[in-house]
Amino acid sequence: MSKPKPNPRKPKALYRTPPPKPVGDDFVHTTPIALAPFQLREDGSIHLNGHVSTVEEIKTPPPKLVHATDSPFLRLYHGNSLELLDAIYEKYGDAGRFDAIFADPPYFLSNGGISCHAGRMVKADKGDWDKSRGPELNHEFNLEWLKRCQRVLKPNGTIWIPA
């Protein structure tokens, strides 16, 4: 009986260069997380911080509250999620705010390709927000939003990310 031949092909690397290595128990940060240019109020509305006098002074407009209910408590915002998570952290601190986070981040799949939807060929482009800016920046973005989610989760909280 002969032995099976080993597979001579090596698996392809996910990145051309390896992603940055974590330092200690924390995620890697290339820049410190800045204060959000706005505050969340108890009613869910947004208030500009004292160091910002007009919306034009900030790079992106503050998130807008688009839906709110009190029972169950729910707030839905449209805006920059990184800034919103920073404002939530500033308001509630290290104790955390959420028992669970359901995140549907960009998967950076909008590359001009096509897909099949309902038996038809369709463009796979979802928008500029889903276009890859390279593996290093994609990785950095993922580390940043995960870090912010981790800060606002309660100690026994969970995060769900669909695959």
Report pLDDT digits (tens) over 107-145: 777 777 777 888 888 887 777 777 777 888 888 888 999
- The residue whose two tokens read 């994609």 is 138
Q: Does residue 18 have a pLDDT over 60?
A: no
d(CA 47, CA 118): 44
More confident residue, 56 or 115: 115
Cβ–Cβ under 8 Å, residues 4 and 25? no
pLDDT of the residue at 103? 87
Does this model's pTM top 0.75? My answer is no
Task: Tell me the CA distances in angstroms from 131 to 17, 120, 137, 144, one per residue in order.
Answer: 19, 22, 11, 17
Q: At what angle do helices 135-152 and 81-92 cross, to 10 degrees?
A: 30
Q: Percentage of the chain surpassing pLDDT 90?
A: 7
Tell me which H or E stretch contains 145.
helix 135-152
Residue ranges covered by each domain of the chain: 38-160
Q: Which residues of 86-97 are buried (b: 16+ CB within 10 A; e: fewer)?
A: bbbbeeeeeebb
pLDDT tier for residue 44 given thresholds of 50, 70 and 90: confident
More confident residue, 158 or 16: 158
pLDDT of the residue at 158? 92
pLDDT of the residue at 125? 75
Q: Burial level of 49, CB count in 10 A (0-12/13-18/19+)?
A: middle
